[in-house]
Amino acid sequence: MLGALKYDASPACDQTRINQWYMANPDAAARDFDQTIFASSACQVGLEDRLYRAQDGRLVNTRTGGEPVFFHFPAENRIASARILDMLPQPHRRLPPRPGEGYRFFRNVIETRLPYLLDRPAYPLEDIVAAVALRAMPVLVGISIGIALLAG
């Protein structure tokens, strides 16, 4: 496909080049907002059972009704991919979670809730939630406990 589009994949990051190509050729491709062709578990960790359901052996996006033909599982989301595959009746091979993935899954569940509830794109809202909930809050709680102990 990329060859037919005269796509130059010389930089290391193909996604950057594809985005650049699309911005230069907006009429040559279509955006798949309803996920009728392609879906990804990225930026949706922990929301698998809310965003997808199985129907007649296929995944259905619960928000758009789209039935993606391709589903991309980023390598760092093995827990999320297992949750999606568990919805389908066909047997699928599952990769075991990597060390530390349980914590990353838990952290991503926290990050994805607010964008999901507000129905907003993941970025930059997930980064803001992560900065507040996972960085600032623990520091503030630690400072508060320290002040209370010193005052006590």
In a domain, 23, yes or no: no
Q: How far apart, in whole angstroms, are the C-alpha atoms of residue 124 and residue 99?
A: 27
- pLDDT value of position 34: 80
In a domain, 114, yes or no: yes
| Domain total in the chain | 1
**Which of 88, 116, 82, 121 lies closest to 102, judged by CA?**
82
Pairing of strands 52-55, 58-61: antiparallel
CB–CB of 17/8 below 8 Å? Answer: yes
In a domain, 17, yes or no: no
Q: What is the DSSP letter of 34?
A: T
Instruction: Return the structure tokens found at 118.
Output: 């507000």
In a domain, 61, yes or no: yes
- pLDDT value of position 55: 93
Each residue's pLDDT, cut to its tens digit, for the chain (152 residues) gives 556 656 555 556 667 777 788 888 888 888 787 888 888 876 677 888 888 999 998 999 888 899 998 888 776 678 888 888 899 888 878 888 888 888 888 887 887 777 777 776 666 677 777 777 777 888 888 889 989 899 87
- Full domain range(s) for residue 93: 31-151
In a domain, 39, yes or no: yes
In a domain, 19, yes or no: no
In a domain, 86, yes or no: yes
- pLDDT value of position 2: 57
3-class DSSP state of 94: coil
- pLDDT value of position 60: 92
- H/E stretch holding 38: strand 38-40
In a domain, 105, yes or no: yes
- pLDDT value of position 27: 86
